[in-house]
Chain A
Amino acid sequence: MTNRKKAVAYWKQNLTYLAILLFIWFVVSYGCGILFREELNQFQLGGFKLGFWFAQQGSIYVFVVLIFVYVYLMNRLDKKYGYDE
Chain B
Amino acid sequence: MTVQVWTWILVGITFALYFGIAIWARAGSTKEFYVAGGGVSPLANGMATAADWMSAASFISMAGIISFAGYDGSVYLMGWTGGYVLLALLLAPYLRKFGKFTVPDFIGDRYYSNTARTVAVICALIVSFTYVAGQMRGVGIVFSQFLQVDISLGVIIGMAVVLVFAFLGGMKGITYTQVAQYCVLIFAFMVPAIFISIQMTGNVIPQIGMGGKLADGTYLLQKLDTLHTELGFKEYTTGSKSTWDVFAITLALMVGTAGLPHVIVRFFTVPKVKDARKSAGLALLFIAILYTTAPAVAVFARTNLIETVSDTPYTEVPSWFKNWEDTGLIAWSDKNGDGTIQYVGGSALIDKKPIFIEGRGRYGERLISNANTNTNELYVDRDIMVLANPEIARLPNWVIALVAAGGLAAALSTAAGLLLVISTSISHDLIKKQWKPNISEKGELWAARISILFAVVIAGLFGIYPPGFVAAVVALAFGLAAASFFPAIILGIFDKRMNKQGAIAGMVVGICLMLFYMIRFKTGLVGVLDPRPASEWWLGTSPEGFGTIAMVVNVVVSMVVSRMTPAPPKAVQELVEDIRIPSGAGDAQSH
Q: How many interface residues does chain A have, given as a range?
A: 35 or more
Residues A67 and B88 in contact, CB atoms below 8 Å apart: yes
Interface centre among B85, B90, B274, B291, by most chain A C-beta atoms within 10 angstroms, is B85
Q: Are A70 and B277 in contact (CB under 8 A)?
A: yes
The A-B contact count (CB < 8 A) is: 133
Query: B212: CB under 8 A from chain A?
Result: yes
Given known A-B contacts A57-B295, A60-B292, A52 and B237 have beta carbons under 8 A apart: yes
| Other-chain residue from A11, A34, A41, A67 in contact with B580 (beta carbon distance below 8 A) | A11
Closest CB in chain B relative to A71 CB, distance in Å: 5
Are A52 and B577 touching (Cβ within 8 A)?
A: no
Docked pose: A61 CA to B81 CA in angstroms: 10
Return chain A residues, CB-CB under 8 Å to B219.
46-47
CB of B339 closer than 8 Å to a CB of A: no
Q: Which applies to chain B's interface (DSSP): helix, strand, loop or mixed? A: helix
Chain B residues near A82 (CB-CB < 8 A): 583
Tell me, yes or no, whether A1 is within 8 Å of chain B by CB: no
Question: Once the chains bind, are B272 and A85 in contact (CB under 8 Å)?
Answer: yes
Residues of A48-81 whose CB lies within 8 A of B: 48-49, 52-53, 55-57, 59-61, 63-64, 66-68, 70-71, 74-75, 78
Shortest B144–chain A CB gap in Å is 31
With A52-B71, A57-B207: A78-B88 Cβ-Cβ less than 8 Å = no
Complex partner residue of A71 from B210, B250, B278, CB under 8 angstroms? B278
* 7 more CB-based (< 8 A) A-B contacts, given A49-B237, A53-B211, A74-B93: A14-B580, A21-B85, A25-B85, A47-B210, A56-B77, A71-B274, A83-B581
Q: Which residues of B contact A (CB under 8 A)?
A: 66, 71, 73-74, 77-78, 81-82, 84-85, 88-90, 93, 207-208, 210-213, 219-222, 237, 243, 246-247, 250-251, 272, 274, 277-278, 280-281, 284-285, 288, 291-292, 295, 577, 580-586
Cross-chain pairs A/B with CB under 8 angstroms, 25 sampled: A7-B581, A11-B580, A30-B250, A30-B251, A34-B247, A46-B208, A46-B212, A46-B219, A47-B210, A47-B211, A48-B221, A49-B221, A52-B74, A55-B77, A57-B207, A59-B82, A60-B291, A64-B288, A67-B277, A68-B281, A70-B281, A71-B277, A78-B583, A85-B274, A85-B583
Closest 7 pairs between A and B when the two form their complex, measured CB to CB: A47-B219, A55-B74, A67-B281, A47-B211, A46-B211, A56-B295, A83-B583
